[in-house]
Amino acid sequence: MINDFIDVYKNRHDYAKDWKKKNPDSKVVGYMCSYFPEELFYAAGMLPVRILGSHEPQNVTEPYIFGMYCPFSRDVLAQGLQGHYDYLDAVSTAYPCMHLGQAFDSWTLHVTQKKFYVDMPNRVQTPYAVPFLTGRLEETKQEIEEWIGREITDSDLKEAINVYNENRALLREIYEMRKADDVPLTGTECMYITTASLFMDKKDANKLLKETIENELKGRKAKTADDTRLMVLGSENDDIKFLNMVEEFSAVIVTDDHCTGSRYFWNPVEEQDDPIQAIAQRYIDRPLCPQRDYPERKRLPYLLDMARDWNVAGIIALQQKFCDPHELDKVALLDWFKENDIPTIYLELDVTVPIGQFKIRVEALLERLREDELW
Amino acid sequence: MVEKKYKTAPLKSWDKAKEIRLNIYKEIAEAKSKGKVLLGGGAESLIALPTGFDYAMLVGEPYGAAISYLAKSDPDEYMKYVEASEHAGYPRDLCAYMRNYIGSILRDKYVFGGPFPKIDFYLQAGFCDTHSKWYQAVSDITGRPYFSLDLVPFDWEIEGESEKTKDLKRKYIVDQIHEAIAWMEKQTGREFNDETFIQGVLNECESTSLWAKVCIANRAIPAPLDEKTMLSLYVLAVIGRPRNDVVEFYRELLDEVEDRVANQIAANPYETARIITDSQPPWFALDLFRLLETYGVVSVGAHYTFGLSGGWEYDEENKTWEAGKTPQEKGVEVKTRDEAANVLADWWLRTGTVCRGVRHSGAGKIQRIMDMVDRWKVDGAIVHLNRGCEGTSLGQMDIVSSLLERGLPTMTYEGNHADPREYDENRTFARIESFMETMGLKQLYEFKKGE
Amino acid sequence: MITAGIDLGATYSKVVILDDGKVVGKGISKTTLEPEESVEKALNAALQEAKIDKGQVERTGVTGSGRRAIKDADVVATDVTADARGAYHLDKEVKTVIDVGGEDARAVKVGENGKVINSAVNDKCAAGAGAFVEAMSRAMQLSLEEFAEASLKSTQEIPINAQCAIFAESEVVSLISDETPREDICRAVHDGIADRITSMAKRVLVEEKVGLMGGAVMNKGLVESIREGLGLDPIILPDPLFVSALGIALMAADQED
């Protein structure tokens, strides 16, 4: 049920520690970017958990990371330096971007933990990206096998793929439910659900998702057709406080494009003979982070389709301050939605947000959208 | 008056460097009228790629820096470039080279005179994430086609990357080189000449290896070159390393620098202390090196200055870096396009220290900096926390902390390599002054601005 | 020997008179657009307290951001060096000095005989120190003393942006309009500034004992937040406003002829 997801979101470390108690022979692996191929680790009986920031100011990272790196990367590094993730058996990442990569480099320099690093190609648009990533994943698999002292079989991999695909399908089902005029859950609630699933054993998450869909969401009206439908998109975002503020103004967030939201789970692994290649293909084909959307701009038409399919009236784009990949899309993105008549505001996230200032921007957007409705 | 310890002499190669640089920019301006392919793109790596055509290339980073020089001579004019890009909505914390460049396109103004050149296509072989998307933004504005090659660098040797991983990375790049060539042929409707390409690749290896040798000569006491001079010399490798005249220039330069070492000709006649810097300097404010000189301090180089267009090969046995051995030195024959592609990919992956340093910092980058401190006999470090370049500032703070732990006097100052609005000269000079006190150094003569 | 140490800061000009290493007079004045006049005023006050004529001063040292305005000093040095020298004289065990001024904060690592090992100052994205607290106290219509006192009575921590003063300010405005208890806002401001100062200080590799100096450390609320941020127990150096002036006066006395 939604409250259970909220509980996991708020007590993510307790969840992972409990999991470890229940699975004393298994390992917990933290990862930093949603391009991390979790299936490989899950197939080895491990719990992959995404490392997010705490949204609390801190004073521990300045000797290790430059102030021009995004607040998220600094917040993530702080979690490691402050020892909040000491229970991890390994820390890992697929190459994310320079900022989060810096957080990983610094974390592994100062916190003694086993590390895994996957060279995720940037240019997913080249046909050579899949063979490259497949090769790297094969090596990662071997590295995991050496670490745990046993083989990961094809059937382990297929089982992991199935569990992950089921999780993706269930989350997708919830997003489909949000297409309704009377939305069964708020965007804030949905963010709790998607973000909590980043921390959960997917088998547990799937069970809970099924229950939530069947026993809580079906027939529920969290918001009505009178609420203004919005989409949020941008960089890492688990800013509950912000989403909550937006939805207090008779508005409802009905979909998103964030790596902590839909980008994380949108596409399944399609079956192929070689499960490793199938996994590689999935990460190459997934909805794009701006970091990897070039030379062609494939992300913009994808976002427009989503906005239309979910019948969105307006968009709130949110990026981590100093995030270059998002900033390099900013002009094109604003032009694109202007051309396509979807009013959009663009805000910058920091570790904490000046809610009052953002309130004014959001209210102005909503007033504009409601004026449009009047005409 | 303090007595000079060493003799000095002007650098003979200086004028030639200037001449080649001007020629390159002239060739760009004249390219279209001479029927050449004109492309734009980044300096980062693999700039031998278009050498299969009769071509000229406008390399973006030094061009962005050239615009920032205006801030000194004509600040109002400079502001028009950045304002053009900012008014169009490009955020102010993006790469400053890129913002200057975009401003130049939006104003249709070539900083060396006339309208912005009509570029046929853009080509980037990037390891910096921001630069990989630079020409996507340019392509949005100009509508010109753009190809981006994804260079996934090797990790630092200390990380013990497997041969299999290295092979995968080489192959990934070689495949994309072939893809890029086919793409360029399609864009230009011209045939790619393998012979000139092979020569371009060999030149790219040789220029960068020679530059590393020049840097190595600077291990001598007194240092034959100071970093300010090096910055004027390395730029030829940045913009023209596949060219015959550039290779020839570096051969002559190396001879001259080795001769200076043999005859104890110094960059700074006092040489009271040797430092290294980190990241690009604020290009429009190289006076800070002049200020250091008044204390007898010589900056012997930087990870950036050595490595952006330098070929450095790791010596596993001695855990240090030496100038990369070129295919010519190793007696490797390069006869086909595919062989050349393999040589080029391998060269950048193995010998590009800045290339890997923009992707991986950590223990490996620290090892490289410590190697410089030891082998260039360095007494202190000045780190430019460069708000304009997130690529070269990767790992900087960890480097600063490591240098301090080692007990090496180290100072930081904030600035921007190509946006003067983010550099505060008074504040920086004040910091240098206290740093000099910390190092126990006295000013030997008065600093006069602009000399 | 009688020496004068002048610290020409951006906000205040401070002077210390030493007689054979003993402080015999101190003077302070607001730094105006005429820095020489400001120094003259502070110097006269110090001389008056010391009951010494100007002509008796044998050597003068000058430091502070405006030090170049003063001609004919015997010793000129930056604040970093003067801070270390002054702090070392006051307490030989101090290894790290944190100087919290109006606009800037600075950390200095002190080595043997009061020599500087390294130092750091706040960077652009984390600028602001004492003056920011003053601006916030004005926004809340409190005197600085009331603001400091209120902060000590706070019962809850409210996270505000630790890095960017502009963001922090708008968060404070939001807190005021949300009717957050006054005490908690005051503390949030101190915590935010203290996070910035201690973040920066950690860059010099902080070692105990830590000595605090500068005008802003007279604010007890801010000192409490710095204490928490460091996780150490710093001392406040005696006469925290005059440590630099003392340091440069000592350097003038030390100078060999």
Cβ neighbors of B12 (< 8 A, separation 6 or more) are: B256
**B98-124 average pLDDT score:** 96
Contact A354 C177 (CB under 8 A): no
Gap between the Cα atoms of A49 and A205, Å rounded: 13
Instruction: Write down the pLDDT at residue C10.
Output: 85
Comparing CB atoms, the residue among A57, A67, A359 nearest residue C123 is A67
What does each C-alpha distance from A113 to A29, A80, A140 come to in angstroms? 10, 10, 17
Comparing CB atoms, the residue among A66, A128, A136 nearest residue B397 is A66
Which 114-173 residues of chain C touch chain B by CB within 8 A? 116-121, 123-124
How many of the other CB atoms lie within 10 Å of CB of B317? 6
**Residues of each domain in chain C carrying CATH 3.30.420.40:** 1-91+239-257, 93-236
Torsion sign (Cα): B320, B325, B331, B337 = positive
The answer for B416, left when phi > 0, alpha when psi is -120 to 50, beta otherwise, is beta
Q: Looking at the DSSP assignment, which residues form a beta bridge with residue C85?
A: none
Structural fold of domain C93-236: Nucleotidyltransferase; domain 5 (3.30.420)
Instruction: Write down the pLDDT at residue B325.
Output: 98
Gap between the Cα atoms of C196 and C161, Å rounded: 10
Q: What is the pLDDT of residues B350-402, one digit of tens each?
A: 999 999 999 999 999 999 999 999 999 999 999 999 999 999 999 999 999 99
Greater model confidence, B397 or C135? B397
DSSP secondary structure string, B217-267?
HTTSSS-S--HHHHHHHHHHHHHHTTSHHHHHHHHHHHHHHHHHHHTTB-S
Instruction: Write down the pLDDT at residue A54.
Output: 95
Euclidean distance between the first and final Cα of chain C, in Å? 13
ipTM of the complex: 0.96
Contact list in B for residue A99 (CB cut-off 8 A) is 390
Q: What is the pLDDT of residues A60-84, one digit of tens each?
A: 999 999 989 999 999 999 999 999 9
Contact list in B for residue C65 (CB cut-off 8 A) is 430
Mutation for C interface: B424, B438, B441, most C CBs within 10 A: B438
Contact list in A for residue B133 (CB cut-off 8 A) is 290, 294, 324-325, 328-329
Instruction: Write down the pLDDT at residue C160.
Output: 82
Q: What is the DSSP letter of C147?
A: H
Closest approach of chain B CAs to the CA of A251, in angstroms? 28
Work out how many CB contacts closer than 8 A connect B with C. Answer: 42
Tell me whether the omega of the peptide bond preceding residue A295 falls within 30 degrees of 0, making it cis. yes
Structure tokens at B75: 């600040």
Nearest CA in chain A to C178: A356
Which residue is it, tokens 């930093």? A32
Question: Residue C54 burial by CB count (10 A; 0-12/13-18/19+): exposed, middle or buried?
Answer: exposed
Contact A59 C205 (CB under 8 A): no
Gap between the Cα atoms of B114 and A195, Å rounded: 54
Mutation for C interface: A54, A62, A244, A347, most C CBs within 10 A: A62
Gap between the Cα atoms of C213 and C237, Å rounded: 6
State the average pLDDT for chain C: 91
Instruction: Write down the pLDDT at residue A25.
Output: 93
Comparing CB atoms, the residue among A59, A63, A356 nearest residue C162 is A59
Gap between the Cα atoms of C6 and C248, Å rounded: 7
CA angle B113, B114, B115 (to 5 degrees): 130
Contact A332 B172 (CB under 8 A): no
Comparing CB atoms, the residue among B385, B433, B437 nearest residue C123 is B385
Mutation for B interface: C124, C200, C203, C248, most B CBs within 10 A: C124
Amino acid identity, residue B324? G
Contact list in A for residue B134 (CB cut-off 8 A) is 328
Closest CA to C64 of C73, C56, C55, C51: C73
Q: What is the pLDDT of residues B438-451, one digit of tens each?
A: 999 999 999 988 65
Mutation for B interface: C118, C166, C202, C248, most B CBs within 10 A: C118
Torsion sign (Cα): C250, C251, C256, C257 = negative
Q: What is the pLDDT of residues A11-66, one digit of tens each?
A: 999 999 999 999 999 999 999 999 999 999 999 999 999 999 999 989 999 999 99
Contact list in B for residue A74 (CB cut-off 8 A) is none
Q: Which helix (H) or strand (E) holds A122?
A: none
Domain C1-91+239-257 in this protein, CATH class: alpha beta
Which residue is it, tokens 């604020």? B282
Q: What is the dihedral of CA B76, B78, B80, B81, to 10 degrees?
A: 180
Cβ neighbors of B22 (< 8 A, separation 6 or more) are: none
Contact B150 A123 (CB under 8 A): yes
Instruction: Write down the pLDDT at residue C162.
Output: 64
Contact A64 B387 (CB under 8 A): no
